[in-house]
């Protein structure tokens, strides 16, 4: 089997296991309130980290402020002005696309 | 005759489906760019099979980049696993909201993609699993079809980056944080700030994928007693 097909096969299996792991190991039983207190904060922790990596991160590991940052900043302003979610996303894409067209 | 619970689940599934439609458009276009990028590295069949079986954009891009740069299967697999590892944390967050046997819960976990998971979050550690499945349903065929389009005719379509699609997802997460998660108390705001800081510090020094997993450490703030903070 070539490296490509080994990669596809192993990632197919590991991704399914990774996605199943939390629900299988933690789900289906009562949790201690303090443990639940920690788990309840996973969402804000992970979401804010995703905002950082997807706005400023590049695949090669560099931190860059580029057109994406302009788009996400515009979206942040729209959020502050209480714009609904779909227009917020549209503004982010439009500002990023506009900045790229000008660059 | 469906029970009232099933009827409610179906309406949540439908609501999720509608909420997921814009992301299916994004999945289609990003899938095209994956197909375009992957075809010279992996040929025509492997990228499509990968999208069918893996269905995880960032891991697929990362593994393809490693293979394209001449890295071996092991390096490509490690890169993919690191980028998928956030699903362990996301799955743990989802778990208390899941009912039923282990196999059923494992099946629910397969519907986790970033946008659907985030949309299904109700704040305060609760999730709506039916909504999440509904939100993922349109993205799966779109991701596979996009990959096939990119593999077979990508050059005709052009670069989806010119549309600014890559800014959609972080903007969406900002909106979700502001609209839901951060309203559940000062503790959630502090956790978000610490999580973002951890990611910012680690992006330049750690392999891709690690910053987001490491940011889950910020959730340990939940160990502090609730009485020391209001609204937390």
State the pLDDT at residue B131. 97
B20 touches chain A (CB under 8 A): no
pLDDT at B231 over 50: no
The shortest C-alpha distance from A87 to chain B (Å) reads 10
Mean pLDDT for all residues in chain B = 89
C-alpha atoms less than 13 angstroms from C-alpha of A87 in its C-beta half-sphere: 8
| % of chain B beyond a pLDDT of 90 | 60
Distance of alpha carbon A16 from alpha carbon A93, whole angstroms: 31
Determine contact: B40 vs chain A, CB below 8 A: no
- Tell me if A24 and B101 make a contact (CB, 8 A cut-off): no
Residue B216 has pLDDT above 50, yes or no: yes
Q: How confident is the model at residue B228 (pLDDT cuts 50, 70, 90)?
A: very low
Q: Which pLDDT score is estimated for B229?
A: 46
Confidence check: pLDDT of B230 > 60 = no
Largest CA distance in chain A: 55
Burial of A13 (0-12, 13-18, 19+ CB in 10 A): exposed
Nearest to B138 by CA among B207, B55, B220, B73: B55
CB-based contact B218 A21, cutoff 8 Å: no
How much is the pLDDT for A61?
A: 80
- B 78-107 residues inside an 8 A Cβ radius of A: 80-81, 84-96, 98-102, 105-106
Write out chain A residues lying below 8 Å of B82, CB-based: none
- CB-hemisphere CA count at 13 Å for B148? 8
pLDDT at B39: 93
User: pLDDT tier at B2 (50, 70, 90 boundaries)?
Assistant: low
> Are the CB atoms for A28 and B102 separated by under 8 Å?
yes
pLDDT for B158 equals 66
Percentage of residues of chain B with pLDDT beyond 70:
93
Residue B69 tokens read as 């740069």
Please judge whether A92 and B168 are an interchain contact, meaning their C-beta atoms are less than 8 angstroms apart: yes
Mean pLDDT of A29-44: 87
Q: Which of B76, B100, B216 sits opposite A7 (nearest CB)?
A: B76
Cβ within 8 Å of residue A77, ≥6 positions away: none
CA-wise closest residue to B110 among A23, A11, A10 = A23
Note the pLDDT tens digit of each residue in B54-112: 999 989 998 998 898 888 999 999 989 988 999 999 999 999 999 999 999 999 999 99
pLDDT in tens, A56-74: 998 788 899 999 999 999 9
Show Cβ contacts of residue A51 under 8 Å, excluding neighbours closer than 6 positions: A72, B170, B173, B174, B177, B196
Residues in chain B: 232
Which three-class secondary structure string do you get for B175-206?
Answer: HHHHHCHHHHCHHHHHHHHHHHHHHHHHCCCC
B227: pLDDT strictly greater than 50? no
Q: Residue for token digits 């609760």?
A: B126
Distance CA B9, CA B6 (A): 5
Locate the chain A residue with the closest alpha carbon to B211.
A49
Give the H/E segment covering residue B122. strand B121-123
Report chain A residues whose CB lies below 8 A from the CB of B86. Answer: 46, 50
Confidence grade of residue B172 (pLDDT, cut at 50, 70, 90): confident
Radius of gyration (Cα) for chain A, nearest Å?
19
Could you report the predicted ipTM of this complex, rounded to two decimals? 0.89
**What single-letter DSSP state applies at residue B111?**
T
CB proximity A12 to B under 8 Å: yes
Q: Is the pLDDT of residue B117 over 80?
A: yes
CA–CA separation, B142 and B153 (whole Å): 16
**CA distance linking residue B6 with residue B71, whole number of Å:** 49
Q: How high is the pLDDT of residue B232?
A: 38
From CA A53, how far away is CA B209, in angstroms rounded? 9
pLDDT of residue B225: 66
The answer to whether residue A37 neighbours chain B at the CB level (below 8 Å) is: yes
């Amino acid at each position: 089997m070539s490296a490509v097909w080994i990669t596809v096969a192993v990632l197919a299996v590991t991704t399914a296991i990774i996605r199943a792991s939390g629900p299988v190991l933690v789900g289906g039983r009562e949790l201690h309130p303090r443990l639940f207190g920690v788990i309840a904060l996973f969402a804000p922790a992970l979401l804010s980290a995703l905002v950082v990596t997807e706005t400023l991160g590049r695949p090669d590991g560099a931190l860059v402020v580029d057109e994406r940052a302009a788009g996400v900043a515009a979206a942040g302003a729209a959020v502050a002005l209480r714009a609904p979610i779909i227009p917020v996303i549209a503004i982010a894409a439009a500002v990023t696309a506009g900045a790229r067209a000008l660059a | 005759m469906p029970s009232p619970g099933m009827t409610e689940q179906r309406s949540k599934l439908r609501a999720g489906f509608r909420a997921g439609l814009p992301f299916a458009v994004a999945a289609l276009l990003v899938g095209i760019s994956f197909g375009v990028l992957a075809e010279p590295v992996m040929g025509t069949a492997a990228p499509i099979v990968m999208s069918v079986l893996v269905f995880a954009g960032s891991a697929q891009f990362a593994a393809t980049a490693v293979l394209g740069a001449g890295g071996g299967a092991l390096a490509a697999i490690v890169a993919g696993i690191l980028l998928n590892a956030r699903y362990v944390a996301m799955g743990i967050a989802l778990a208390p909201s899941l009912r039923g046997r282990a196999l059923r819960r494992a099946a629910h976990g397969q519907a986790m993609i970033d946008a659907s998971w985030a949309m299904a979050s109700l704040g305060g550690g609760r999730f709506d699993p039916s909504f999440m499945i509904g939100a993922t349903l349109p993205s799966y065929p779109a991701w596979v079809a996009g990959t096939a389009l990119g593999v077979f005719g990508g050059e005709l379509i052009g670069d989806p980056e010119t549309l600014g699609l890559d800014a959609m997802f972080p903007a969406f997460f900002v909106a979700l944080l502001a609209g839901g998660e951060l309203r559940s108390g000062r503790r959630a705001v502090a956790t978000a700030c610490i999580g973002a800081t951890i990611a910012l510090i680690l992006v330049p020094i750690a392999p891709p994928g690690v910053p987001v997993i490491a940011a889950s450490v910020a959730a340990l703030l939940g160990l502090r007693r609730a009485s020391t903070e209001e609204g937390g």
